């Protein structure tokens, strides 16, 4: 979709955000529907603040790295398996299992909004002030890297209740809040570990698309 010298790219899927007692924070994107085809990617914030992108191929790596901020990019197989109440995530030097809990009260409210409305970029502008208050650090619209703009349309939210995993050969430890904020972009995943169903719209200047 194009408008006034800009092209919009829509990614529909889920984002899981978790912290760990080791200090490592992990944000997993599971995107069954995207202009790049189905894919998964992982953003890792190490305890010292180093930000690492795990991407399955150069096309995904280029698009995500131009939208968010990273200190290192690693290309290799990234897979997400969702089965019942669990996520299994595998990537370069990463192995992660997440246990999901019930839909949160906010998730129940999100499901009351018609999907077509909830995923519209203009609606993200209306919900941004509410999101900042309801979920500390969360934004639903803002400026991304290289002149891009992003709009997040959330449609569901589940708590994450457990975590088991390893990163670069070390145990991640137990589940913890996503704190401090990882610093990948203008906004953050909720501080409380969770999985959000979301449609992300990335608006790219045509000269840089």
pLDDT at position 131: 59
Q: pTM for the complete prediction?
A: 0.89
Q: What is the pLDDT along the chain (209 residues), one digit of tens a residue?
A: 555 578 999 999 999 999 999 999 999 999 999 999 999 999 999 999 999 999 999 999 999 999 999 999 999 999 999 998 999 999 999 999 999 999 998 889 888 887 887 777 766 666 655 655 556 656 666 777 778 888 888 889 999 999 999 999 999 999 999 999 998 986 668 899 999 999 988 989 876 44
> Residue 18 CB: number of other CB atoms within 10 A?
26
What are the Cα distances from residue 111, in Å, to 15, 128, 173? 16, 17, 33
pLDDT at position 23: 97
**What is the Cα Rg of the chain in Å?**
16
Tokens of 143: 């400026």
Nearest by Cα to 43 from 94, 100, 86: 94
pLDDT at position 50: 97
Domains and CATH numbers, the chain: 8-205 (2.40.400)
Nearest by Cα to 12 from 156, 137, 134: 156
DSSP 15-64: EEEEEETTS-EEEEEEEEE-TT-SEEEEEEE-TTS-EEEEESSHHHHHHH
Q: What angle do CA 80, 86, 91 make, to 5 degrees?
A: 30
């Amino acid at each position: 979709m194009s408008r006034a010298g800009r092209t919009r790219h829509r990614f529909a899927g889920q984002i899981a955000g978790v912290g760990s007692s080791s200090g490592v924070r992990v944000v997993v994107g599971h995107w069954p529907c995207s202009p790049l085809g189905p894919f998964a990617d992982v953003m890792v914030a190490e305890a010292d603040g180093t930000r690492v992108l795990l991407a399955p191929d150069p096309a995904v790596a280029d698009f995500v790295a131009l939208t968010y901020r990273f200190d290192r990019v690693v290309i290799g197989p990234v897979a997400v398996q969702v089965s019942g109440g669990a996520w299994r995530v595998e990537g370069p030097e990463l192995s992660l299992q997440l246990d999901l809990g019930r839909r949160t009260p906010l998730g129940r409210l999100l499901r009351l909004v018609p999907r077509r409305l909830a995923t519209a970029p203009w609606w993200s502008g209306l919900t941004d002030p509410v999101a900042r208050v309801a979920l500390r650090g969360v934004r639903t619209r803002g400026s991304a890297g290289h002149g891009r703009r992003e709009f997040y349309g959330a449609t569901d939210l589940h708590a994450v209740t457990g975590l088991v995993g390893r990163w670069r050969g070390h145990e991640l430890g137990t589940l913890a809040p996503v704190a401090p904020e990882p610093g990948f972009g203008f906004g953050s995943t909720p501080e409380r570990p969770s999985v959000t169903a979301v449609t992300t719209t990335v608006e790219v200047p045509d000269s840089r698309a």
